Homo-oligomer: A and B are copies of this chain.
Amino acid sequence: MLSIGTLAKRTGAKVQTIRYYEQIGLMPEPGRTEGGQRRYGNAGLDRLAFIRHSRELGFSLEAIRELLDLSDSPERSCAQIDAVAQRQLQEVEARITRLKALRIELQRMLSECSADRVADCRILEVLRDHEECLSNHDGTGI
C-alpha cells in the first residue's frame, strides 16, 4: 500500500493537492491505517496519474471529472469523450489566437518606443489609448 507522499512523488502532485482532489470528490476516499493515514492501491495511483496528465494537457477539473465518469461505462460510445477533447482543443486554439494578437501588440509597442524620458514613452501612450491599437483584443477569452 502506498502513502500519500509516495503518490505525490510518483505523479508530481503535491500532497495537499491530492487531499484537495479527495475533498472535491475527484479522488475517492482511500483506506486508512490504524493511525488514520491514507493508504492507496494501484487504482488510486492510476487515477491520480490520469488526473495529472489531463491537467498538464489543460483540461479543467470539471472536464476531467466528466472523462472519469465516462470511462466508467466502457460499453458506451466514446463520442462524448471525443467531444470533451475536441472542446479542449478549441479552447487551446482560441487562446493561441488571442495570445498571438497580444504578442503583435506588445511587439509593436516595444519597437515604437525609443524615448529616453518616461514623459515621451510610447508604451505608456499606447496603454493609455486603446485607439492606437491595431487589433481590438477586446478581452473575449483572456
Interface residues of A, Cβ cutoff 8 Å to B: 12, 46, 49-50, 53-58, 67, 70-71, 73-78, 81-82, 85-86, 88-89, 92-93, 95-96, 99-100, 102-103, 105-107, 109-110, 113, 115-121, 123-124, 127-130, 137-139, 142
This protein's copies in its complex: 2
Closest to A77 in B: B116
Chain B contacts for A74, CB-based, 8 A: 117-119
Give the shortest distance, in Å, between A21 (CB) and chain B (any CB).
15
Complex Cα gap A130–B120 (Å): 51
Give the shortest distance, in Å, between A80 (CB) and chain B (any CB).
8
Given A71-B118, A116-B77, A119-B75, A102 contacting B92 (CB threshold 8 A): yes
Closest to A115 in B: B78
Partner of A121, one of B81, B100, B119, B121: B81
Complex Cα gap A142–B90 (Å): 17
Given A46-B128, A99-B96, A128-B50, A57 contacting B105 (CB threshold 8 A): yes
Question: Judging by beta carbons under 8 Å apart, are B123 and A85 in contact?
Answer: yes
Give the shortest distance, in Å, between A17 (CB) and chain B (any CB).
12
